[in-house]
């Protein structure tokens, strides 16, 4: 069901289906956090945005505090939710010093960014945020790419091309992907979900260099890039 079909600015069935799948996955075990902890993080994100006046409703009903949710994870999630431009390498290093693992940090960044994406789109088309899903029981997967190395980013990443081996082939195909795509690759599932959103909302990655390619019926490629650049500037992004 496309919950965005009858809005003033309808969202495509493809994007709506991705939103529904990814929203449901917030309640399932991730690489480092179980479903209950991931939902607690999602609730923190929404509550922080409501408290900051940048989101109308949280539409989440968090239960008892999750005892195994590190305070460092809660803190960085709230910072990312309301003021991502303020997050610097020192914040990442402080979170790691307080006991958060690098894989946990990556999972928090991925969860916060994707939930914020979904909620901002809902706000943009003037519908309530979608309810958070029920918890799916099970342990975290422990997923972590063995191909990830230090490349100058805040955490280890999987290099593109031959240096990244099979993991790079699975994540990026044959393209030489920039850090904006490789940033979460320490945890391949987070990269997969990021790329899934990016390819639907922006354009297929293998067509990035085709400057006359038009992925959206209502926008030319130059128009898409102008919007992307303007939004990035407004959010103090290094895009």
pLDDT digits (tens, 9 = 90+) for 119-147: 999 999 999 999 999 999 999 999 999 99
Region 10-36: mean pLDDT is: 94
Q: What is the pLDDT of residue 64?
A: 47
Judge whether residue 216 has pLDDT over 80: yes
Identify the bridge partners of residue 216 per DSSP, sorted by sequence position: 219
Q: What is the pLDDT of residues 162-202, one digit of tens each?
A: 899 999 999 888 777 788 889 999 999 999 999 999 989 98
Q: What pTM was estimated for this model as a whole?
A: 0.91
Look at 10-14, 67-71, 132-136, 195-199 and tell me which has the smallest mean pLDDT.
67-71
Region 43-67: mean pLDDT is: 78
Look at 46-60, 62-76, 83-97, 190-204 and tell me which has the smallest mean pLDDT.
62-76
């Amino acid at each position: 069901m496309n919950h965005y079909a009858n809005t003033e600015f309808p969202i495509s069935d493809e994007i709506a289906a991705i939103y529904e799948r990814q929203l449901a996955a917030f309640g399932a075990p991730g690489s480092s956090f179980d479903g209950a902890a991931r939902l607690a993080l999602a609730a923190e994100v929404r509550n922080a945005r409501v408290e900051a006046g940048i989101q109308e409703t949280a539409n989440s009903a968090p239960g008892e505090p999750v005892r195994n949710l590190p305070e460092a994870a809660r803190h960085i999630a709230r910072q990312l939710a309301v003021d991502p431009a303020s997050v610097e390498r020192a914040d990442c290093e402080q979170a790691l010093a307080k006991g958060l693992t690098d894989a946990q940090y990556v999972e928090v960044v991925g969860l916060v960014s994707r939930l914020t994406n979904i909620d901002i789109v809902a706000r943009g088309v003037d519908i309530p945020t979608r309810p958070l899903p029920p918890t799916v029981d099970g342990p975290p997967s422990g997923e972590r790419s063995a191909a990830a190395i230090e490349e100058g980013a805040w955490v280890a990443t999987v290099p593109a091309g031959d240096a990244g081996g099979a993991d790079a082939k699975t994540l990026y195909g044959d393209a030489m992907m920039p850090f904006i795509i490789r940033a979460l690759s320490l945890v391949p599932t987070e990269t997969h979900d990021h790329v899934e959103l990016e390819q639907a909302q922006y354009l297929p990655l293998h067509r990035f260099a085709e400057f006359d390619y038009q992925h959206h019926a209502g926008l030319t490629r130059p128009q898409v890039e102008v919007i992307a650049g303007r939004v990035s500037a407004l959010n103090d992004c290094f895009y």
